[in-house]
Amino acid sequence: MKAVVTGAAGFIGSHLCESLLADGHEVLGVDAFTDYYPRAAKEKNLAACRDHRSFRLVEGRLQDLDLRGVLEGAGQVFHLAAQAGVRASWGREFAQYTDHNVLATQRLLEAALPAGRPRIVYASSSSVYGDAPGLPLYQKSFGLSVVSLRYFTVYGPRQRPDMAFHRFLKAARDAEPVHVFGDGGQTRDFTYVADIVAATRAAADSGRPGGVYNVGGGERIALREVLRRIEDVTGRRLTLVREEVQKGDMRDTFADTAAARADLGFRSTVPLGEGLEHEWRWIRSQA
């Protein structure tokens, strides 16, 4: 089967491409290499895929590309390209979100209509920002088969450099201070990237058209507890610097995964300590 993955050079997209290739699928990746973080990091994410004979990358923005050829013959489309994160979604940066999240999604959905209406899996967020209102519209009015996933704080090797675990583990590696936003009492439901990939693929295979599924690790953990576990995993003491709570940050998140368990057979398989060890090993390999 031909699968299209948008955001293929990103953190989650690159893992998803590898998983599809490992199961014998043909993968066409799309990525614009936006400058949210360095291209060099995204090239490293893609290295294993680029070596695979069933992988092809189309470089460009979804808003600008001629998507007919991209989508031709695709059975499944995984839409992970986006301006991720919520912290910059204010003021002058706002246009980035309407452009890369709303417009890009609308272009992809329009192009999917004449392209045999492939199954589309859309990566949304626990923050639900970027949950483009166009999705239910295209599902209901045009009969596109769209499944939406709400990922809860994803971590693991290749995690984006703006994300907390990446920053904390890098600070531990380089013996630098750790900047912590807020009092450390905020809680998150952290999800290991391999579990996210499994849920995303299951959504394409067995998700209910129009369905929206939360995908979370199932443990609600306070940030200060995470910092303690990072000290355990790295064997290093962290020097903390307290910073103001960031606009857009939620105090607590916790996924109700009942629907994902029932329809997608979702199970979280990697506990936090084990996942942190994988990410720590990767952070050290990047030095």
- What single-letter amino acid sits at 170? K
The whole-angstrom separation of Cα 19 and Cα 10 is: 14
The tokens for 6 are 């948008």
Q: Does 49 bind ligand NAD (CB under 6 A)?
A: no
Candidates 3, 4, 13, 156; binder of ligand NAD (CB under 6 A) is: 13
140-169: buried (b, 16+ CB within 10 Å) or exposed (e) per residue? Answer: eeeebbbbbbbbbbbbbbbbbeebbbbbbb
Candidates 2, 3, 5, 11; binder of ligand NAD (CB under 6 A) is: 11
**Phi, psi (rounded to 5 degrees) for 206:** -135, 10
Q: Cβ closer to ligand NAD: 50 or 242?
A: 50
The whole-angstrom separation of Cα 45 and Cα 107 is: 26
Q: Cβ closer to ligand NAD: 216 or 237?
A: 216
Candidates 2, 4, 5, 7; binder of ligand NAD (CB under 6 A) is: 7
Touching ligand NAD, residues 65-94 (CB under 6 A): 80-84
Residue 247 Cβ vs ligand NAD, minimum distance, rounded to whole Å: 17
**Secondary structure element (H or E) that encloses residue 151, with its range:** strand 146-151
Strands (E), 195-280: 212-215, 220-222, 240-243
**Secondary structure element (H or E) that encloses residue 241, with its range:** strand 240-243
Q: Does 216 bind ligand NAD (CB under 6 A)?
A: no
Q: Does 61 bind ligand NAD (CB under 6 A)?
A: yes
Please give the residue whose beta carbon sits closest to ligand NAD in the complex: 10
**Chain positions contacting ligand NAD, by CB under 6 A:** 6-7, 9-13, 30-34, 36, 42, 61-63, 80-84, 100, 104, 123, 125, 130, 151, 153-154, 160
